[in-house]
Amino acid sequence: MVAGLNGKFKVLELREIVEKNTGFLGYVWSAVTTIPLFALAAAAFCLTDYVALTTSQQKVEFGLVRAVGARPREVLKIITAQNVIVLSSSFGAGVAVGLMLTLLFLVQKPFVLAYGLLEIFAGCSLSLL
């Protein structure tokens, strides 16, 4: 009916446009959700490499601890404690920085004020220490 009034008008079907754009957004969302998986794989690789490096550098110290009379289980407890400390502090710093960046750049109108970001950063960092 609208096209009959004026030849310049074009009738568009809203359903077709929405389905086309929804499909495109689905592909974009799939790409965006795979990026953190690559970051997680890289972090796991770095953590494994860090544990191997620190363990190999401390072979002499672990040998001395074993020579004093420590059991292998106690040496494993030392290695585990060291790695948990590093992992938890890294996690706290990463969450705090990620939360700050998300609130600053990705959230249009955050309900958090500027001094609130520092409190969030300090709280996340201190809670994991």
* Domain identity same for 89 and 129: yes
* Domain identity same for 36 and 89: no
Q: Tell me, yes or no, whether 65 lies in a domain.
A: no
Give the pLDDT of residue 64: 93
* Domain identity same for 76 and 127: yes
Cα angle 18, 21, 23; round to 5 = 105
* Domain identity same for 77 and 111: yes
* Domain identity same for 78 and 24: no
Question: What pTM was estimated for this model as a whole?
Answer: 0.55
Q: State how many domains the chain has.
A: 2
5 vs 76, more confident: 76
* Domain identity same for 22 and 46: yes
* Domain identity same for 95 and 51: no
Q: Tell me, yes or no, whether 3 lies in a domain.
A: no
Token code pair at residue 42: 């890289």
Query: Could you count the other beta carbons within 10 Å of the beta carbon of residue 96?
Result: 21
* Domain identity same for 92 and 53: no
Give the pLDDT of residue 121: 67
Separation CA 106–CA 122 (nearest Å): 21
Q: Tell me, yes or no, whether 35 lies in a domain.
A: yes
Domain span holding position 45: 10-57
Token code pair at residue 16: 């077709």
pLDDT surpasses 60 at 49:
yes
Q: 3 vs 33, 87, 129, CA distance in Å? A: 42, 65, 69
- Backbone torsions φ then ψ of 6, nearest 5 degrees: -145, 130
Mean pLDDT of the region 19-24? 77
Token code pair at residue 97: 């920085």
Q: Tell me, yes or no, whether 14 lies in a domain.
A: yes
Give the pLDDT of residue 14: 78
pLDDT digits (tens, 9 = 90+) for 70-117: 999 999 999 999 988 888 888 878 777 777 777 777 666 656 555 666
* Domain identity same for 27 and 52: yes
Give the pLDDT of residue 75: 92
